[in-house]
């Protein structure tokens, strides 16, 4: 596992562990981020376009998707159980609001099951870190975005070695101890959060990678209180003529 690639065996082990987090996913996430996760999700929701089609890659159990109001939405995840739970949550909220139903598709970022130029915006929250081939995923996202479309990524920040060390400490001891208590098991699935965080690169690394994979106006901003980065990039208007 490194900052670009997760090997097949590690990725399938990671996926098993992610599936095991479902019953306690929101509870531990809130604790791990001192409640900031809802604010970060709101920041992304405010940037969604009023019209057009949105794709969330790695929707998990629907924690972000359920509060996307009044927009056409497709949710993608490789884990069928994540999609099953997400559909129940998202359908319920969308029905209550009178929004059209979202679509739920099984797949991975690296092999998106969509035609070229389909989406106006792609967002991915706390999932990019888990993609097994980040460059391949970014190039697939670029392929399915329309010219001028936007990608937004949210994931734990790592500004530099010292910041990364503090983040590692936080996840291993603060989140790890809480997860062990909540999950009532020593070998709890949240240990993989620490593993993927250790191998995740810096904010700058992925800003550069997005530019190299053909996004423009790329920014990577560490947001308060320094636990997460929001990366944004646009597909060039001239995409289809390249």
Ligand X SMILES: C[S@@+](CC[C@H](N)C(=O)[O-])C[C@H]1O[C@@H](n2cnc3c(N)ncnc32)[C@H](O)[C@@H]1O
Binding site for ligand X (CB under 6 A): 15, 18, 57-60, 63-64, 77-79, 82, 108-110, 125-127, 130-132
Which own/partner pairs from 95-104 qualify as long-range (CB within 8 Å, at least 24 positions apart)?
Answer: 97/69, 97/70, 99/69, 99/70, 99/71, 100/72, 102/65, 102/68, 102/72, 102/73, 102/74, 102/75, 103/73, 103/74, 103/75, 104/59, 104/74, 104/75, 104/76, 104/77
Whose Cβ is closer to ligand X: residue 131's or residue 197's? 131
- Nearest approach, Cβ of residue 160 and ligand X (Å): 24
Report the residue number, 48 or 59, with the smaller CB distance to ligand X: 59
∠ CA 25-166-211, nearest 5°, is 80
Q: Which is nearer to ligand X, 108 or 150 (CB)?
A: 108
Label the pairing between strands 216-223 and 145-156. unpaired
Nearer to ligand X, 20 or 166 (CB): 20
Shortest distance, position 86 Cβ to ligand X, whole Å: 8
Q: Which is nearer to ligand X, 132 or 206 (CB)?
A: 132
Rounded least distance, CB 91 to ligand X, Å: 17
Give the Cα separation of 199 and 216 in Å (integer).
Answer: 26
To ligand X, the closest distance from the beta carbon of 212 in angstroms equals 19
Number of neighbours of residue 8 by Cβ within 10 angstroms: 8
> Least Å distance between CB 101 and ligand X?
19
- The C-alpha atoms of residue 157 and residue 178 are separated, in whole angstroms, by 21
| Residue closest to ligand X when measured from CB atoms | 60
């Amino acid at each position: 596992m490194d900052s670009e690639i997760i090997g097949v065996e590690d990725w399938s082990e990671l996926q098993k562990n992610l599936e095991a987090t479902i019953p306690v996913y929101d509870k531990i996430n809130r604790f791990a981020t001192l409640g900031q996760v809802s604010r970060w999700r709101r920041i992304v929701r405010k940037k969604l376009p009023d019209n057009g089609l949105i794709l969330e890659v790695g929707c998990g159990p629907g924690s972000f998707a359920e509060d996307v109001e009044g927009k056409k939405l497709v949710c993608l995840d490789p884990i069928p159980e994540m999609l099953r739970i997400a559909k129940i949550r998202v359908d319920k909220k969308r029905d209550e609001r009178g929004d059209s139903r979202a679509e739920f598709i099984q797949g991975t970022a690296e092999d998106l099951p969509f035609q070229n130029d389909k989406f106006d915006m792609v967002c991915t929250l706390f999932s990019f870190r888990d993609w097994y081939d980040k460059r391949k995923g970014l190039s697939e996202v670029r392929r399915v975005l329309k010219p001028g479309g936007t990608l937004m990524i949210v994931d734990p920040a790592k500004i530099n070695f010292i910041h990364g060390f503090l983040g590692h400490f936080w996840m291993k001891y603060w989140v790890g101890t809480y997860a062990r208590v909540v999950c009532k098991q020593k070998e709890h699935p949240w240990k993989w959060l620490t593993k993927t965080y250790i191998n995740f690169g810096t904010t700058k690394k992925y800003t550069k990678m997005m530019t190299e994979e053909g996004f423009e106006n790329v920014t990577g901003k560490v947001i308060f209180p320094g636990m997460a980065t929001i990366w944004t990039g646009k597909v060039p208007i001239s995409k289809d003529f390249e």
